[in-house]
Each structure stands twice: as structure tokens, then as C-alpha cells.
Amino acid sequence: MVKSSIAGYPVIGENREWKRALEAFWSKKISEDDLLQTTKEIRLANLKKQQDAGIDFIAVGDFTLYDRVLDTSVMFGIIPSRYNWKGGQVSTSTYFSMARGNDEAVASEMTKWFNTNYHYIVPEYEGQRFELTENKPLAAYREAKKELGIEGKPVLLGPYTLLKLSKGFEDNDVPSIILQLIPLYQRVLQELQDEGVQWVQIDEPILCTSISSDEMKTVTEIYSQLTNNLSGLNILLQTYFDSVEHYTETIALPVAAIGLDFVHGREKNLDNLKQHGFPKDKVLAAGIVDGRNVWRSNLQKKLTLTETIQQQVSPDKLWIQPSCSLLHSPVTTRSEQKLDQTILNALAFADEKIEEIKAIQTALQYGKEKFTKVFEDSEAALTAFNALPARNNKEVRQATSGSLLSDSKRNLPFAERKVKQQEKFQLPLLPTTTIGSFPQTPEVRATRNKWRKGEITNQQYKDFVNAEIKEWIDIQEDLGLDVLVHGEFERTDMVEYFGEKLDGFVFTEKAWVQSYGSRCVKPPIIFGDVAFTKPMTVEESVYAKSLTDHEVKGMLTGPVTILNWSFVRDDLSREEVTNQIALALRKEIEALEAAGIHMIQVDEPALREGLPLKKAEWKHYLDWAVNAFRVSTASVEDTTQIHTHMCYCDFNDFIEAISALDADVISIETSRSHGDLVEAFNEYHYDKGIGLGVYDIHSPRVPAVEEMTEIINKGLEVLEPNQFWINPDCGLKTRKREETVAALKNMVIATVQAREKLGVVAVK
């Protein structure tokens, strides 16, 4: 009989209770005991939902206070020395210091989880001896069983994925690291077996990346050792986000079940299943419902897919589940009261995806004919949705198939533009700026909410925003920054703001997902064809420019980031949707330029996360992603300076593509990597303007001048002074006013000192 399984569930709660508890604890409004009690209640409520839905195998241990990779690092004592941990159980204070930093130590690096918008804390190897500080999966299993009677499926991040996501080691360190990890994993598994646990889920999404044959041999050896002395404990090796790279080797691993993604890795995994079959003594956990998007499943198509899989796998050896953890999905559509009913009927969040899994499982067990209405409702909802005029805009479709997409080249090459731009702007050596946003104080958020609720007029809201802009223009001038920004006080989110002003988007009330730590985002939903309607940013940018003699950057979010940070319609290719966005943004950039804004920043922090997991597919993605950015920006004058911003990622992998964007200036998040990123420029001669972020904005600490000076000096080792900009890592909206001013003051001091060291000369 086919079983149902869930690989993971959102931690945040229907109303972000988890976020509020964390932030209350960090601000010392509640105690640690209060935090742990509140999060326990959220955790048990999440499990109870799945239990009530009748899920056969419920994941336990997927809940976190910040990040599951950080949880694993802490569990195995992979803790950098700067946190002064002396062994034994790790305190909550040390845990959060690794995530957020403290007065004495910077936070650990944070980067994207594969090709998603979730961020994890990067484990740091310093040659330390690992130790098992706590068996977290066992504690989660015991809690679920004691409190709810759930025979849970503990979840554990796999050893090879943990290794590959870590930093600080050389290739020749790998064997010793693995030799340290294996006994710790063995102990965790042995304790689970001794407890009577039947199934444990070990996540190895790294198997869906382009790992080599030799690496796969290492994985095989690891699992041979892990399972050597296990008898009563069954291991589900779970993969997701794509097809596995080495199918035959993966299904031969000495585990009881293999989890495969039949959504994002559907074609290749299906082909492999048909060509090579599947071991008759193993369970296949088939991810058939999209765990990363928000669209309702066509139940008939999902049933047909499952029946196709059943041709290779007997019903008693088949589990059906979402394609990955539902961490990447909002919690429930029941919280949405204002959406158009036709659109709402086409959506499915975490709770609804669980219902879909159960519907398909029940149809397989008892026959679809007994559940005809459920399948008919699915078909009818999607038919009505697809018929919406907004999903069939002929003018937009014609534009994206026309010649505009080939108009993606600036009039002059960068070297010639640079001369004209310096003549125009007369910037000093090492110009200083920020990434765009300034603190969104409680007053800013409260005033925006009043405006949205109709409690204040449009003019009152505009006056308030203008007052904030003026205050921060004055602050920037006083600090001595060279290029200013208006602060984005009118914006809730860098994607949502633009989606609200473009056709083709719809917005939810409570469809939040975790991005990093307590940071939750409410991604727009691209349900229709994207079209420009009227200028979106011109008014605020022009007002800010009227207040100062300094240059003020116009601030936009780029087409690829709008795509990657939205839930995207699944009936068109992502390339086609991005091109629609690019053509809309092109009109906005032209409007800014016409209004006298000649520095325009088009942020693409999500360019990296859109990279496919398979390296063979990178070129195709980067070709269309880079072209979309250039389509957005190519029509401006030579003297208009295009900036862009990117969050930290492995720039060595695609620095040529970054250069191909042809942005005049790029700013990059680097501080958490302690300047390591500059090594990329030893390998590649980058000739355009670049700002390597000199301090971490995700941490509340104010970095010393000396820390920023160190990063500046590292940057100057590989970059020419006349191409180097000084800026923070990222936008400052989540920071408080006092710490923002203090940090920027130190940044300007560090810059002035660097200029003095270089000698104050005109930029050539």
C-alpha cells in the first residue's frame, strides 16, 4: 500500500509567531525559557497538523531556532575558535553569536541554500576536533512521541552535503574531516536505533549537483560505514531540487529508501527510473508535488505521474511526498481573505500540498472514482485560472518575441564610458555610497500600515516619506558620503514594491516564507503577463535629488531577482517571464534618466541562486539572465552610470558572466567571508567599478574602523584604486538608526585613511 511522507514543514507559524518570539528574545523582552516554550508550542502545532492530515511518515527534527545547517554544525562541535566555546553542550548565546555575531566576534558567513532564496550559516573548519554535543534528532523524536504520540521520522543533514557546504579546508583535509564525522553520525544513528526509531531521513541534496565519479565513490564509502552496524533502523536518503547526478550509484547505496524529486528533476529522474529500474528491496520516496512553488496541482496529472512511477516500483515500496521540504512554501491559504477567488483557488501552500498528497494517496489506494469531485474541483479551478485575461496579454507576448530583446548593448564600451562618467561626476578616489535602503523604523512601518488601512491620506503619507528622505539625505551629507540614496522608506520589500506597480503580479496577506534567521519575506506571485503601467520610482528619486548637490542613485530591483524572489507562473519558461520583466524595467530606467537621475542601481542579488544545480546547464541560464539585465539597462546615455548589487556567492564560478552584465559599478557582499572573495580577482582581471562590502549589515554590532580598513586593504591588493568603491555589504533597512550612523561613520573614516595612505590624487 502506498504511503505518504513529508520531508519537512515551515517553522514560522501561520502568523510568524516564531519570528516574533526570536526577535523578542534578542531584544531581551522575553527570557530564554519563554523563547523555548513558545517555539515548542509552534513546533508541536506544526506536527499536529500533519498528524491530523493522516501523513504516514512525519519529519521531526526539521524545526530550528535559526538554521538547520547551523544546528548540525553546533551538534557536531564545528564551532570557530572566535566564539570561545570550550566543549560540551552549546549555549543559546554561542548559537546565536555564530548566526548574528556579538561584540567580540563577527558572525559566520551566510549564503544561499542551493538555488533557493533560503540562506544557511556556512560551517567553518579550522582543524578543530569535532564532538557530539547533543543528539538533536533523538530529542525531536522523543518530544513528538511523548507529546503527540507520533512515531516520527527524524531528519538529519547528510555528512557529504555538510562537508560540501563547509569552508576553511583544502582537498587534502577531506579524508580527515570525513573520518571525524563518520563516528559522530554513527553514534547519532545508533542512539536512534536503540530508542526504537524505525526510519531516519538523511538529506543529501548535494547528490543533485555536478559531483564527480570520485566524489560519488566517497559517498558510497561513507554510507557503507554509516550503515555497517545498523539492523533495526531504516535510512531514507533524501535528495531534492533536481535529478541525482549518479543514478545507478545512488540507488545502490546501502540504505532502505531513496528520495527523488519528480518535479524539478522530473524528466531525468523518470528517464533513469525507466532505463535502469529501481531496487525491489528499497522504498522510493517520490516527490511529486512541488514543494517550492504555490500553484495548485493538477491532481489528474499527478496521479498519472505516480502511476507511471508505479510501473517500476510496487505500491508497498512507494511513498509519495512533496518534492522537498515545505520550508520554501507559505503555511496555508486559509489566511488569505482578499485575493480574487479565481486566483486563490489556483493556489496551494504547505497545508494544501499535504492535502494534495493525501488525495493522491487515497485515490491510489481506493480508486479515483470514489473521489471524483476532488479531481474535478482541481481541474475546474485551474481551467478558470488559465482563462484569465491577465495571463494572455497579446501585447506583452509580442514584445517579448520582438527585436527589443536583441537591443542589449550600450553605445560605448565601458572604458570609454568611464572617462565620460568621471568627467561628469567628478568623484573622489574610493567613492563612498550605500546599497540603497536605510532603517525601516517602527514609526516607518506603523505609518505605512496606517496608510494602507486608509487611516491617513495619500498626501499625509507622502509628506511623511519625504520627511524621512530629507532626514537621511542630511545624515548622509553630514557623514561625508559621496553618492547618496533616498532610503526606500516607501518600500516594504525590494521585489514586492515593484510587483505592486506592474501588471501580472498578485499579493498575499500572510504568505510568508523564511529567508534567513528571523527574516521572513512575502514573495509576490507572478500569475500573469508582466507589463509596465507608469513610473514607479521617479517621484522619490527626483525629490531626494532636489535636496542635495550630491549625486543620488535611482534604485531598482533587476529582472532576474524579481523572478527568483517571486513565486513564478509555471506555464511559461522562466526565461520568457524574465524578459517580460526586463522590458518593463527598461521603461522605468528611461523614465528615471529623463527626470535627471544619472546614476541608476539595478540590483541583482539573486542572480547566483538562479544557477541550475548542474554545471552543464549554467551557460544557458547565464546567457538569458545576463541578456535580460542588459535589455533593462542598455538604452541609457553613455554618461548615465549603471550600478548593480549582488549578495555573497562563489563568484569564481561565474565572474565572467558578472562582467558581461556590463554594469559600470557592481557592489558585492563580502564582509562575512573576511575578504576571501577578493581572491576571485587574482584569477580574473575585472576592469569595471566594484565595491567590496566592508561591513556586515546582518549583524547588530558596529564594526571598528580597523576591521573595515583590513577589508579595504585586501581589496586594494587585487583592484586598482580608481575602480574601487566603498560601501556596506547590503541594504540597511533591518538595522537601527544609531548603529547605522555609527557604522557608516566608521566606514567613512576608514575610507579617508585609505585615501591618505594612497595619496589624494585625481581619478584617471
Q: Is 370 annotated for ligand binding?
A: no
How many whole angstroms separate alpha carbon 553 and alpha carbon 338? 35
Specify whether the CB–CB gap between 200 and 186 falls below 8 A: no
What band does 336 get if pLDDT is binned at 50, 70 and 90?
Answer: very high
Task: Give the catalytic positions in this structure.
Answer: 698
Other Cβ atoms closer than 10 A to 246: 18
d(CA 156, CA 236): 10
Residue 417 in marked binding region: no
In sequence order, which ranges of 407-558 are alpha helices (DSSP H)? Answer: 414-425, 442-452, 458-479, 496-499, 538-546
User: Is 590 labeled as ligand-binding?
Assistant: no
Q: What is the mean pLDDT of residues 588-605?
A: 96
Q: What is the pLDDT of residues 527-540, one digit of tens each?
A: 999 999 999 999 99
Residue-range domains of the chain with CATH: 1-56+275-387 (3.20.20.210), 67-151+163-238 (3.20.20.210), 418-758 (3.20.20.210)
The length of the chain in residues reads 764
Give backbone dihedrals phi and psi of 326, rounded to 5 degrees, phi first.
-80, 10
The two beta strands, 199-203 and 525-532, are unpaired
Checking if the pLDDT of 110 tops 50, the result is yes
Rounded Cα–Cα distance for residues 517 and 563 (Å): 22
Q: How far is CA 325 from the centre of its chain?
A: 14
User: When comparing pLDDT for 155 and 735, which is higher?
Assistant: 155
User: What three-state secondary structure class fits 582?
Assistant: helix
pLDDT digits 0-9 by tens, 349-388? 999 999 999 999 999 988 877 778 889 999 999 999 999 9
As a whole number, the mean pLDDT across the chain is: 93
pLDDT of residue 458: 96
What number is the average pLDDT over the span 426-449? 94
Sign of CA dihedral 397, 402, 405, 410: negative
Sign of CA dihedral 236, 242, 248, 249: negative
222 assigned to a ligand binding site: no
Angle between helix axes 136-148 and 32-53 (nearest 10 degrees) is: 60
The answer on whether 435 is annotated among ligand-binding residues is yes
What pLDDT is stored for residue 762 in this prediction?
A: 41
Q: Is 520 annotated as a binding residue?
A: yes
Amino acid at 91: S
Q: What is the pLDDT of residues 553-563, one digit of tens each?
A: 999 999 999 99
CA dihedral 181, 183, 186, 191 (to 10 degrees): -110
What value does the mean pLDDT take over residues 688-713?
Answer: 88
Which residue stretches of 456-608 are H helix? 458-479, 496-499, 538-546, 559-564, 574-594
Q: Report which of 250, 243, 161, 164 is spatially closest to residue 208, judged by C-alpha positions.
A: 243
Residue 488 annotated in ligand binding: yes
Q: Find the mean pLDDT for residues 46-68.
A: 98
The answer on whether 437 is annotated among ligand-binding residues is: yes
Mean pLDDT of 79-104: 95
Residues 497, 516: Cα–Cα separation, whole Å: 20
Task: At 346, list the grid cell.
Answer: 489556483
Residue 519 marked ligand-binding: yes
Distance between CA atoms of residues 148 and 60, nearest Å:
12
Label each residue of 332-353 as H, E or C. CHHHCCCCCHHHHCCECCHHHH
Confidence (pLDDT) at 650? 57
Q: What is the 3-state secondary structure (H, E, C) of 671-735?
A: HHHCCHHHHHHHHCCCCCEEEECCCCCCCCCCCCHHHHHHHHHHHHHHCCHHHEEECCCCCCCCC
Using CA atoms, how far apart are residues 223 and 201, in angstroms rounded to an integer?
A: 13
- Is 565 within any annotated ligand binding site? yes
Residue 52 clears pLDDT 50, i.e. is over it: yes
pLDDT greater than 70 at residue 68: yes
In the prediction, which pLDDT does 439 show? 92
Position 371 scores a pLDDT of 74
pLDDT tens by residue, 299-334: 999 999 999 999 999 999 999 999 999 999 999 999
- Comparing CA positions, the residue from 261, 258, 255, 268 lying closest to residue 313 is 258
Taking residues 289-298, report their average pLDDT. Answer: 97
CB distance 690 to 396 below 8 Å: no
Report the pLDDT value the prediction gives residue 588, as an integer from 0 to 100.
98
| Cα distances (angstroms) measured from residue 375 to each of 52, 286, 350, 361, 378 | 22, 20, 19, 13, 5
| C-alpha cell read off for 643 | 550600478
Band of the pLDDT at 656, cuts 50, 70, 90? confident
The pLDDT confidence band at residue 610, using thresholds 50, 70 and 90, is confident
Give the per-residue pLDDT at 764. Answer: 37
* Better-scored residue on pLDDT, 646 or 65: 65
Q: Please write the tens of the pLDDT for every residue from 666-689.
A: 988 776 554 455 666 777 788 899
pLDDT digits (tens, 9 = 90+) for 611-650: 899 999 999 999 999 999 999 999 999 999 999 998 755 5
**pLDDT tens, 576-586?**
999 999 999 99
416: annotated binding-site residue? no
